[in-house]
Chains A and B, each alone.
Chain A
Amino acid sequence: MIDLNATLLAQMLNFLLLVILLRAFAYKPIVKMLKEREDKIANSLKQADDDAAKAQATLKEYQDQLATARVKAQDIMDKAEKRANEEHETSIQATKTEIEQMKQNAQQEIQRERAQAVEKLKSEVIALSVAAAEKIVSKKIDADENEVLIKEFIDQLDKDKIGDLPC
């Protein structure tokens, strides 16, 4: 039952043959495939890491750009506001000047009108005075002479006053 014979050698050879065959047909392909899978997984992980880093970088870039844009926009807005203020100021100034101008013009106008009115009143007063004087003296005097006479009289009056009215 436990007799040893040449089967022992045959079994050794059989087993070695099986080792060689199995190594060629199963072990090597599987190990190769395992290695490939390992590499692929490592590559995929690396790729994923790289992609994530890239995405992060892009995001950072966009955020930077956004921040710059925001600062720029703020700058532009500030400038616009400043310019608007300046324009507003200028326009107010111009209006003020205009108003001042108009005021001055108006005053000049008033002055002139007053002078005209005074002149007119003077001549009317002269006429009235002449008429009155004619009636009073009932004597016809030369009109020109008369006028000179009365003008003198009037000039002697207060220059700024017509009668008692302030002018």
Chain B
Amino acid sequence: MHEIGVRETVQFAGLTFNWETLVMTWLSMAIVLFIAILATRNLKMVPTGAQNIVEALIVWLREQVNTNLGPKGEFLCPLIVTLFLFLIVANWLGLVPTMASPTNDLNTTFGLALLIVLIVHVLGLYMKGMHYIKHFFQPFPIFVVINVIEEVAKPITLAFRLFGNILAGEILIIILLKLVPIWMPIPSVIWLAFSIFIGGVQAFIFTSLSMAYLANAVKDSEE
């Protein structure tokens, strides 16, 4: 049981890294890849077992992408799928004893949120050009203030929502284990179950909001 809020850091090339977050991220990535490769190792026309689950997930996310981003957003589908799979695995990883969620570190969530917002703006500029810049000044030029605040708020809210939920869940698990005697596991179990639910919901919210932001940049305005 580590001390809450204290992170071991390592120095590399003059930069500071949170070691545990990195290790847990790589573990999550490995799990995601392992599941994906396991499920797609032997793809069959008539799906069985794990293929069914991964397939259903991908089909569902593709539908989400298609309805939100339109046909132009098809190429963003792998990003969305990866985002969802990585977040759900990362969120649930912290529920395993001695493990921690990579998403309990603001660096992870803020990194992902910044990445999404960066992609949104780059794609918006690339696909719509001046039209994209113009839409910040609509309906009146003075609205640029509100629009910029909104754009800045997007990654911050996205990052802090996920970070807060996951970190709070983990902290409460630790606290419950410390407060309640070991022969009385019911509160811990209930909170664990709730955390599983929260992990799924937060992964979905993060993915959905990312999709909504991306839709803003990719979708034609007249659509």
Residues in A lying within 8 Å of B, measured CB to CB: 1-12, 14-19, 21-23, 25-27, 29-31, 33-34, 36-37, 40
Given contacts A12-B115, A18-B86, A19-B78, contact A30 B43 (CB under 8 A): yes
Q: B residues within 8 A CB of A5?
A: 9, 15-18, 107
Counting CB contacts under 8 A, is B144 at the interface? no
- CB of B15 within 8 A of CB of A11, answer no
Given contacts A6-B15, A12-B115, contact A17 B29 (CB under 8 A): yes
Q: Which of A1, A18, A23 has the most CB of B within 10 A?
A: A18
7 contacts between A and B (CB under 8 A): A1-B5, A2-B106, A8-B107, A10-B25, A15-B111, A25-B33, A26-B33
Counting CB contacts under 8 A, is B82 at the interface? yes
Number of A-B contacts (CB under 8 A): 114
Residues in B lying within 8 Å of A, measured CB to CB: 5, 9, 12, 15-18, 21-22, 25-26, 29, 32-33, 36-37, 39-40, 43, 45, 54-55, 58-59, 62, 77-79, 81-83, 85-86, 102, 105-108, 110-112, 114-115, 163
- CB of A8 within 8 A of CB of B114, answer yes
Q: How far is the CA of A1 from the CA of B9 in the complex (A)?
A: 12
| Distance in Å: Cβ of B119 to nearest Cβ of chain A | 10
- CB of A11 within 8 A of CB of B85, answer no
| Distance in Å: Cβ of A136 to nearest Cβ of chain B | 141
- CB of A26 within 8 A of CB of B79, answer no
With A2-B163, A4-B106, A26-B36 given, can you name 5 additional A-B contacts, CB distance below 8 Å? A7-B18, A7-B107, A8-B111, A22-B82, A26-B39
